[in-house]
Amino acid sequence: MAPEPETMPISVDFLGGLETLFSNNPRHTISLPLLNPSDSSPANVGFLISHLVKNHLKHPRTEFFVQDDGHLTPGILVLINDADWELEGEEECELKAGDKVVFVSTMHGG
């Protein structure tokens, strides 16, 4: 049997309605493998997103979180340790134990 992959805790928050896709829970603590098993590269935000989709996204309307190509749906803000992910390299941003990632869906109604 293969050994369990080593993991790190990542805090993930869902806001702006996204929590309804994730068991109506606004805060999850994820055990994220240190390495992306597909290419053994260090876990980054792109890997976190696919990990969330595979293991935590229980809702059928997945298009509200990811597109068919696996990338995050436009209109969702991502904050990594309180900073806009555009400044951190977006999906390429590597994660370390204890990092806080926030996904916020932009609303338009009124």
Partner 1 sequence: MQHNSTEEQRSNGVATLANGERTGSGRRLTDEEFDRYSRQMIVPGMGKEAQLRLINSKVLIIGAGGLGCPAAQYIAGAGIGTIGIIDGDVVEPSNLHRQVGHATSRIGMKKADSLISHLRDLNPLPTYVPYTFPISPDNAADIISQYDLVLDCTDNPATRYLISDVCVLLYKPLVSAASVQKSGQLIVLNCPPTPQGRVDKKYPPCYRCCFRTPPPANTQLSCGEAGIMGPVVGLMGVAQAGEAIKILASGLHLPSSTSNDTGDDPHNLIQPALLIHSYDLNAAPGPYTFRALKMASRKKNCIACGENSPQTLTLEGIKSSNPNYLQFCGLQTPKTILPVQDRITASAYHATRQSGQLQNHILLDTREKEHFSFGSIDGAVNVPFGKLLMKAATIKRDGGNAEEILPIKSAEDPIFVVCRRGLDSQEAVEKLKELGVDHGGKRKIVDIIGGMKAWKEEVDPSFPFI
Residue 103 beta carbon to partner 1: minimum distance, rounded to whole angstroms:
11
CB of 30 closer than 8 Å to CB of 52: yes
Query: Is 109 one of the binding residues for partner 1 (CB under 8 A)?
Result: yes
Q: What's the distance, CA 9 to chain centroid?
A: 13
Q: Cβ closer to partner 1: 14 or 43? A: 14
**Of 11, 26, 30, 35, which lies in the binding site for partner 1, with binding defined by CB under 8 A?**
26
Q: How far apart, in Å, are the Cα atoms of 107 and each of 56, 73, 98?
A: 22, 13, 28
101 membership: H or E segment, kind and range:
strand 100-105
Query: Is 54 one of the binding residues for partner 1 (CB under 8 A)?
Result: no
Start-to-end C-alpha separation, the chain = 54
**Of 45, 76, 80, 101, which lies in the binding site for partner 1, with binding defined by CB under 8 A?**
76
**Of 31, 42, 55, 86, which lies in the binding site for partner 1, with binding defined by CB under 8 A?**
86
Query: Is 4 one of the binding residues for partner 1 (CB under 8 A)?
Result: no
CB of 22 closer than 8 Å to CB of 49: no
List residues binding partner 1 (CB under 8 A). Answer: 13, 15-17, 19, 24, 26-27, 59-61, 63-64, 67, 73-77, 79, 82-84, 86-87, 102, 104-110
